Structure 1
Amino acid sequence: MKDKPFYYKELTYLIIGALIEVHKTLGPGFLESAYHEAVIKELQKRGLKVETERKIALQYKGEVIKKQRIDMVVENKVLIEIKAVSQLVRTHIKTVLAYLKASGLKIGILANFAKNKLEYRRLIV
């Protein structure tokens, strides 16, 4: 199996550090929307540009069939999907990979705040 390139190494480390800080401060137990807002504030505090609720076009045979919203994009390079669920499952991962493909972005971070320790996955297309 061929190794995938490590896109935006420093940026992803900054983002993961911000996610860890939010989890360390708030802990588990809140709704996704609370973590979403806290992550935005923490990323901005670190000087990063954050776009929220970006709409991406889903296409079928070259025609746009629906616009889908993604949680956030940092520095127009890294997609972040926030979850607060008991367990990340394959569907969550497939969703982020589909968002990456539809958006043209190469890297995404799926973060789950519902556990005692932040659970995250760095995904590349």
Structure 2
Amino acid sequence: MPVENEIAKVILDSAFRVHRALGPGLLESVYELALAHELQKRELRVARQVPVPIEYDGLTFDQGFRADLIVEDRVIVELKSVETVQPVHKKQLLTHLKLSGCRLGLLINFGEALLKDGITRVVNNLEE
């Protein structure tokens, strides 16, 4: 099993813990802080609001996008706190994976009453 899947299990367990404690309806930044804290308690390396460079037409742009969380330099976690995740959010995460070289992304919507309904797994060349 790829190591990304093991990391994802810890991320999701941590996200459920945060959602149980805080409930839905807060700002994404609050969930980002709480989830990063929970992951660090579990001794995972977490970077918040990571600028990821992109290359275009022979140029490198230092900040193509900002990843909400990158865990262990392998898994991108994009956080939402919205009524409904839109298809564009999944497309954006896939593009972020391709640009960053990461193979697994988790889109977690803390706005859902049941967090399990707000989790989307997006892969980029990750063997299952």
Q: Same fold (TM over 0.5)?
A: yes
Aligned to 2:78: 81
Gaps of at least 5 residues in structure 1 are none
Q: Following TM superposition, by how much is the alpha carbon of 1:41 offset from its aligned partner in structure 2, in angstroms? A: 0.7
2:57 matched to which residue of 1?
61
Q: How much is the aligned-residue C-alpha RMSD, in angstroms?
A: 1.5
Asked if structure 2 preserves the Cα contact closer than 8 Å seen for 1:23 and 1:113, the reply is yes
Offset from partner CA, 1:3-30 (integer Å, 9 cap, x none): xx86622211111100111111100010
C-alpha distance 66-76 of structure 1, shift in aligned 2 (>3 A): closer
Cα deviation code 1:90-121 (max 9, x no counterpart) = 11001111111111111110000011111111
The amino acid across from 1:15 in the alignment is: I
Structure 2, unmatched stretches of 5+, are none
Corresponding position of 2:18:
22
Give the number of aligned pairs: 121
**Corresponding residue number in structure 2 for 1:100:** 97
Contact 1:32–1:84 (8 Å) recurs in 2: yes
Deviations 1:19-44 (A, max 9, x none): 11111110001011110100011111
Identity value in percent: 36
* 1:114 counterpart SS class: coil
Separation of aligned partners in 1, 2:93 and 2:3 = 16
Q: Does residue 71 of structure 1 match 2:68?
A: yes
Q: Letter of the aligned partner of 1:74 in structure 2?
A: V
Correspondence for 1:37: 33
In 2, Cα distance between equivalents of 1:74 and 1:96: 15
Task: Name the SS of the counterpart of 1:85 in structure 2.
Answer: coil
User: Normalised by the size of structure 2, how large is the TM-score?
Assistant: 0.88
**TM, length-normalised to structure 1:** 0.90
How far apart, CA to CA, are the structure 1 residues paired with 2:72 and 2:17? 19
CA displacement at 1:54 relative to structure 2 = 1.3
User: Could you tell me which residue of structure 2 aligns to residue 122 of structure 1?
Assistant: 121
Greater than 6 Å deviation, 4+ residue runs: none
